[in-house]
Structure 1
Amino acid sequence: MSRRSYDFFGDLEVTVLGDGGRTSRQYHRMYDKFETDTPVDNPDIVIEETTDEVQPEVVLGDPDDHYAWTGTEFVIQNRADFMAVTPGWQHIRVTRGFEPFYTIYPVEFRIRQQRVARQQALIHASGVRLDGQTTLFPAWRGAGKTNTLLSLLREGADFLSDDRLWVGADGTAVGYPLGVNLQPYNVESFPEIELQHETSKDRLRHEVHEYIDARIDNHGSFPETAAGFLNDRYLDDSSRDFTNVSDLYPRAEHIEQATVDNVVFLQAAPNVDTITVEGIATETAMSATSAICNFEWDGRLREYFHAYDSLVDNGSMVAALDTVTEREQEIFRDLFDGVAIYRAQIPRQRDWGEHNLDTAIAEAVKSLDSSRVIQAMN
């Protein structure tokens, strides 16, 4: 069993014990910039992949989809896979097929607890610095966050992060150098990008899967539906591929910290043909941010923590989450009050290059007037 440790900003040390399951693979690919040279002796959290079973004493939910208590562990059961947590959330056991992000959210929650004490909050956004201006792009999944980042990197931008980063009440943003989880539509839009695979077998399986997937309708005739099912069942890799931004665009530099000039909320708009940008009020930005955070991590954490508190004596995780989210809301408001905030409607097109959306988003960002520029003009 491999042992890898990760040091997150000096705030949290995590050790992952794995034998090639989804969790150990994703941590290694996604968090490689945080991996330590040698394993940490006394980590704050240990995540261990296991083939053992759990024997619940109390179950909340259906037989194969529930929360449970074994007498020593809080269990999140998801069909054939589970996560088992000792009280205090310092030791987590997961089966090989368990969804990795469901362990990442509690881990990042521990980092968030440290960061809010320093007036910083986690936001689901990409961030770049282009022509001397730093712009953040909060968004729901599928709104074009990664394609926006890639479009601006191609234009010579430096980057804070692709998927999530930290923002401060003082108007700063702190980078989060995670690997980019590239999807086929990202690669189609930027032909200079080539997905990296650990083995030639992985590459062949991926290419065959994508070839079939692009040519059948999973919701069409019975033969097509059956072919789609078999394609996903036997050729799709359930693990995610993460690529370092610096490998995609070597000239792009990672920015550890920057002063924010603009915040542009990306919004998918299937019925429009062009990118449009409009200014929005702080309250609109606050509402959008709350919805995004709730969808990305807080909604799931709240459900986990409510179940945990009801099953574990002296459980207080809901109160801890409330403390963090309330403070983060104050931080977001302080940030938005001091920068220019916009909403961009993005056409939902698979190939950005074919529809010139890569050029359009770059031109839109270059034309933004930050609040600091506006103040200087006045």
Structure 2
Amino acid sequence: MNASDSENILSVLNNHHDYFKTSSKASGTNSDLNILSDIDSVKTLNNVLGGPRERYGRVRNEFAIVDRNQQVIFDEDWSTIHSTKNPLGRIRTIIEGELRKKLAENGMAMVHGSAVNYEGNTYLFPAWRHTGKTNVMLTLMQNGADYLGDDRVFISEGGEIYAFPTNIHLFSYNYNSFDDIRKKNSVSKSRVKLKMWIGSITSKYSNKVSKGIDIFNNVMIGEEDWVDPLSLFPDSYLVEKDSVDEVIMLQSSENTDVPSKTPIESGELIRALTGINHVEWNSYLQEVGLAHDILFPNRASKEKELELLKEKEENIFSNFSKKAKIRKLLIKPEEYWGEEFKKDIVSEIEY
């Protein structure tokens, strides 16, 4: 994958994919996907679907997506993506969708989860968003674990796991649970507490006033950072590849005071991994694919490509689930973690 020299689009890619950066000139390889930041202003769409904020359409004879002042335009074979300097918010999902197709051809799949090597065992923690995968990973790294990934990792049908070491996105609730990390990043404790207090109130309502306050809270008060976890724990190392010893699916409960780990069947894990992928990535890719196929009915169907990818990944999940222990860990929501609960997490995983 090659990207043009736009600072904005490169910052997006570097936050998530810097680990995979290579020099195509040095390696002598050709890129499967080129991203060019060469759109100076949003182009007018024809045959528009959707709107007013996010919409799909045709620019000349090419498929395009617009989200306010952001636009991407795809060449016919999707080998090149043209972008405004300020890239589309979901461009990462589209790029990784193309990557996932290549991986699936080689018996590999991307999983939404964190992963560490702790006390000689490699653990994968798949989870829905905002369930606790980052807090679990940070807790174990505080106790000497080595790092594979926080938000995404690659797995193979043979039971291997491959690092996807992105910078991690730390929110106020993460800082609230890890005071030493908050201090290291010079984050205000009072702002963290204020942000979480306002969020606890606005989450109970769905009117326009509460939504406006929530936006202000997130933008003006909330503390968020993209951080390299290895900079937080200099004694930890990056593990590039290993065999998975245990898969621990995370679920949260407001009624849980002590974490509890129970065995689950492989079918439950397969359904969970498939469902998480749908929520995180596939639902958006399906919308993009449908829009493309409606606007370009005589071209290769993007919806069919996605259905084939989902089928391949489900088969990979099925084979993978036979290679490791499978458990489910019930934990508190991340907002309510304290030092004792973190100690309980470590004890439950070690058990």
TM-score clears 0.5: yes
Q: Give the letter for the 2:19 counterpart.
A: K
1:17 positional shift: 3.4
Residue deviations 1:39-89 (CA, integer Å, cap 9, x gap): 889633232344312111101123333211122331222244333222222
Cα contact 1:83–1:94 (8 A) shared by 2 = yes
**Cα distance in 2 for residues equivalent to 1:153 and 1:234:** 30
Q: Give the letter for the 1:159 counterpart.
A: Y
Write out aligned runs for 1:24-43 (5 A).
24-36=10-22, 43=31
Q: Give the letter for the 1:164 counterpart.
A: R
Question: 1:86 maps to which residue?
Answer: 75
Judged with a 3 Å threshold, the aligned counterparts in structure 2 of structure 1 residues 136 and 97 are, in CA distance, closer, same or farther, namely same
**Aligned-pair RMSD on alpha carbons?**
3.0
Cα contact 1:47–1:92 (8 A) shared by 2 = yes
**Cα distance in 1 for residues equivalent to 2:183 and 2:19:** 19
Question: 2:242 maps to which residue?
Answer: 258
Would you say 1:282 and 2:270 are equivalent positions?
Answer: no
Write out aligned runs for 1:154-303 (5 A).
154-194=142-182, 210=192, 213-214=195-196, 216=198, 219=202, 230=216, 232=218, 241-303=225-287
Question: 2:290 maps to which residue?
Answer: 306
Question: 2:54 maps to which residue?
Answer: 65
Question: Matched residues, percent identical?
Answer: 26
Residue deviations 1:107-134 (CA, integer Å, cap 9, x gap): 2222222222221111111111111111
**Greater helix share, structure number:** 2
Cα contact 2:174–2:334 (8 A) shared by 1 = no
Residue deviations 1:184-223 (CA, integer Å, cap 9, x gap): 21122112214888xxxxx89x889657535646639999
**Cα distance in 2 for residues equivalent to 1:294 and 1:224:** 29
Q: 1:126 aligns with which of 92, 95, 114?
A: 114
Cα contact 1:208–1:235 (8 A) shared by 2 = no
User: In terms of mean alpha carbon deviation, does 245-254 or 85-94 score higher?
Assistant: 85-94
Q: 2:302 aligns with which of 310, 317, 320?
A: 317
Give the TM-score taking structure 1 as reference length: 0.81
SS in 2 for 1:74: strand
**Cα distance in 2 for residues equivalent to 1:117 and 1:51:** 36
**Cα distance in 1 for residues equivalent to 2:40 and 2:221:** 24
Would you say 1:117 and 2:105 are equivalent positions?
Answer: yes
Cα contact 1:167–1:174 (8 A) shared by 2 = yes
Judged with a 3 Å threshold, the aligned counterparts in structure 2 of structure 1 residues 223 and 52 are, in CA distance, closer, same or farther, namely closer
Q: Work out the number of aligned pairs and report it.
A: 343
SS in 1 for 2:181: coil
User: In terms of mean alpha carbon deviation, does 219-228 or 262-271 score higher?
Assistant: 219-228
**Cα distance in 1 for residues equivalent to 2:308 and 2:86:** 32
SS in 2 for 1:242: strand
Q: 2:317 aligns with which of 332, 336, 351?
A: 332
Question: 1:345 maps to which residue?
Answer: 330
1:327 positional shift: 1.2
User: In terms of mean alpha carbon deviation, does 288-297 or 240-249 score higher?
Assistant: 240-249
1:331 positional shift: 1.0
User: In terms of mean alpha carbon deviation, does 109-118 or 157-166 score higher?
Assistant: 109-118
User: In terms of mean alpha carbon deviation, does 150-159 or 313-322 score higher?
Assistant: 313-322
Cα contact 1:17–1:47 (8 A) shared by 2 = no
Cα contact 1:209–1:231 (8 A) shared by 2 = no
Cα contact 1:157–1:252 (8 A) shared by 2 = yes
Cα contact 1:33–1:178 (8 A) shared by 2 = yes
SS in 1 for 2:349: helix
Q: Give the letter for the 1:114 counterpart.
A: K
User: In terms of mean alpha carbon deviation, does 150-159 or 23-32 score higher?
Assistant: 23-32
User: In terms of mean alpha carbon deviation, does 110-119 or 302-311 score higher?
Assistant: 110-119
Write out aligned runs for 1:359-370 (5 A).
359-367=343-351
User: In terms of mean alpha carbon deviation, does 227-236 or 63-72 score higher?
Assistant: 227-236
Judged with a 3 Å threshold, the aligned counterparts in structure 2 of structure 1 residues 39 and 16 are, in CA distance, closer, same or farther, namely farther
Cα contact 2:175–2:192 (8 A) shared by 1 = no
Judged with a 3 Å threshold, the aligned counterparts in structure 2 of structure 1 residues 65 and 187 are, in CA distance, closer, same or farther, namely same
Q: Give the letter for the 1:337 counterpart.
A: K
**Cα distance in 2 for residues equivalent to 1:228 and 1:65:** 22
User: In terms of mean alpha carbon deviation, does 103-112 or 71-80 score higher?
Assistant: 71-80
Judged with a 3 Å threshold, the aligned counterparts in structure 2 of structure 1 residues 76 and 207 are, in CA distance, closer, same or farther, namely farther
Question: 1:7 maps to which residue?
Answer: none
**Cα distance in 2 for residues equivalent to 1:225 and 1:77:** 24
Judged with a 3 Å threshold, the aligned counterparts in structure 2 of structure 1 residues 207 and 84 are, in CA distance, closer, same or farther, namely farther
Would you say 1:145 and 2:133 are equivalent positions?
Answer: yes
User: In terms of mean alpha carbon deviation, does 76-85 or 164-173 score higher?
Assistant: 76-85
